[in-house]
Amino acid sequence: MECCGHAVSRRDWMWSAMGGSFGAMLAGCAGTRAESRVAEDPLAGATALLRENISIDVHTHGGPNGITSRTARPSAELGRQMHAGHIAVLCLADVPDGPILGRNAQNVLVALRTPEPGFLYAYHLDRLDWVDELVGKHGVRRALTVGDLRAAHAASEPAIIVDVEGLDFLEQKLERLEESYRRGVRTMQLVHYTPNDIGDFQTGAVTHNGLTPFGADVIRACHRLGVVVDVAHATEPTVKQAVRVSTKPLLLSHTALRGSKAQGPTPLTERQITADHARTVAETGGSIGIWHFFPSLERYVEGLKEMADVVGVDHVSIGTDTSSTPGLFSEYDPFPRLVEAMLRGGFTRADAAKIVGGNYLRIFAASVG
């Protein structure tokens, strides 16, 4: 093929068909209508990036009808959205203390009661059954290893990493953690909104002055089994003590920089993290997921930059926290628009690929293998 005096190889043509910068050059030639359509598609570059790289939402509940829904059964809808949005992997988090959470008089999310022994564990097991049904009947793969992630991406089939938001169900029983591992959980967040025996959380009273000896045992058990440790929701002292115990990169899956101008005024201030807190996680080789609670995609990109300016692009991820709470993504169909906004906002393709999936993949490989 010849265009504007440039010989175009088969490989170049593939690249242009995926809408890269070479595609823009072709658009300046007297191309076919198909070529023009490619060049005119504003999402072509973003979609190509998602085809070429494994993309991972490092913390999600799968939207309003996802795993935290009280009523929705698993369906093919999540896989459909992932296909449509070209997103390869979701860290799909069940919330064991979900049934006892509610808003207090100050409109802050809290545990409304002390759960009776075994109650949160029973609910957690019920949610793992929900995942089994999603995987068994509705065309979503459950990834247990890096090899599974690569195979699912190569086959263009949506995959989940089973995640749990808060180990509040353990009740000092590490065998429950091992059971969760056997059921396929590969990312575990230590604390959430319910006081537990592991450590202090950001929105609760300080009762342990950080991580407890049992919390240290939990981290060591996660390392031994091969599970990513997520320190989201933990207080800064809890995180700093977790870093001292940990021998693997840590994930902090959903937050924003404390005082984020991009996010603006928010009731989530207590859940944001300081620059020092963020650097503590990054220094383990870890990554910090930025949630989707921003007024626009452009502001979300600014939020990613705020964190990247503090810790570097090797330590930032996408952790939307998509659930029934309003945010930018109630579903995954428009996911390429975020990637397009990142590229338009100044991230290189290589840096965008790290944030969109590569950084979590590094943590997963080091922790799970």
**Which has the closest alpha carbon to 306: 327, 322, 291, 326?**
291
53/189 with CB nearer Zn ion: 189
Cα 197 from Cα 212, distance rounded (Å): 7
Number of residues lying near Zn ion (CB under 5 A)? 2
Report the C-alpha gap between 74 and 67 in whole angstroms.
8
Measured from the CB atom, the residue of 19 and 204 that comes closer to Zn ion is: 204
For 11, 38, 343, the CA distances from 21, given in Å and listed in that order, are 14, 11, 12
Residue 196 CB, nearest approach to Zn ion (Å): 14
Backbone angles phi, psi at 23, to 5 degrees: -60, -40
Closer residue to Zn ion, CB minimum distance, 187 or 212: 187
Cβ atoms of residues 233 and 194 within 8 Å: no
Residues in region 229-288 near Zn ion by CB under 5 A: none
Closest CA to 18 of 8, 4, 9, 41: 41
User: Nearer Cβ to Zn ion, position 46 or 318?
Assistant: 318
Q: Which residues pair with 89 in a beta bridge?
A: 56, 159
Compute the least distance from the CB of residue 254 to Zn ion, in Å: 6
> Measured from the CB of residue 295, what is the shortest distance to Zn ion in angstroms?
20
Distance CA 340, CA 173 (A): 45
Structure tokens, 28: 């300046």
Can residue 97 be called a binding residue for Zn ion (CB under 5 A)?
no
Shortest approach of Zn ion to residue 90 CB, angstroms?
Answer: 12
Q: How many residues does the chain have?
A: 369
- SS3 at position 146: helix
Q: Minimum distance from CB of 44 to Zn ion (Å)?
A: 32
Answer positive or negative: Cα dihedral of 269, 272, 273, 274: negative
Comparing CB distances to Zn ion, the nearer of 200 and 321 is: 321
Q: Is 57 in the site for Zn ion (CB under 5 A)?
A: no
Task: Report the C-alpha dihedral over residues 124, 130, 136, 142, rounded to 10 degrees.
Answer: -50
Tell me whether residue 58 or residue 159 sits nearer to Zn ion (CB atom).
Answer: 58
> Per CB under 5 A, which region of 143-151, 214-222, 237-245, 316-324 contacts Zn ion?
316-324
The piece of 30-38, 177-185, 199-207, 319-327 that touches Zn ion (CB under 5 A) is 319-327
State which residue, 57 or 321, has the beta carbon closest to Zn ion: 321
The residue number whose beta carbon is nearest to Zn ion equals 321
We find the least distance from the C-beta atom of residue 57 to Zn ion, in angstroms, to be: 11
Please, how many CA atoms are within 13 Å of residue 58, restricted to the half-sphere of its CB?
A: 35
User: Cβ distance 97 to 166 under 8 Å?
Assistant: yes
- Tell me how far, at minimum, the Cβ of 104 lies from Zn ion, in Å: 17
Q: DSSP letter for 170, please.
A: -
- Three-state SS for 38? helix
Tell me: does residue 321 bind Zn ion (CB under 5 A): yes
Residue whose CB is less far from Zn ion, 306 or 321: 321
Least distance (Å) between residue 180 CB and Zn ion: 17
We find the least distance from the C-beta atom of residue 327 to Zn ion, in angstroms, to be 11
The CB density around residue 354, as the number of other CB atoms within 10 Å, is 23
Stretch that binds Zn ion, among 120-128, 134-142, 314-322, 356-364 (CB under 5 A): 314-322
Q: Taking CB under 5 A as the rule, which mask of x and - marks residues 154-193 in contact with Zn ion?
A: -----------x----------------------------
Q: Please report, as ranges, the residues that interact with Zn ion according to CB under 5 A.
A: 165, 321
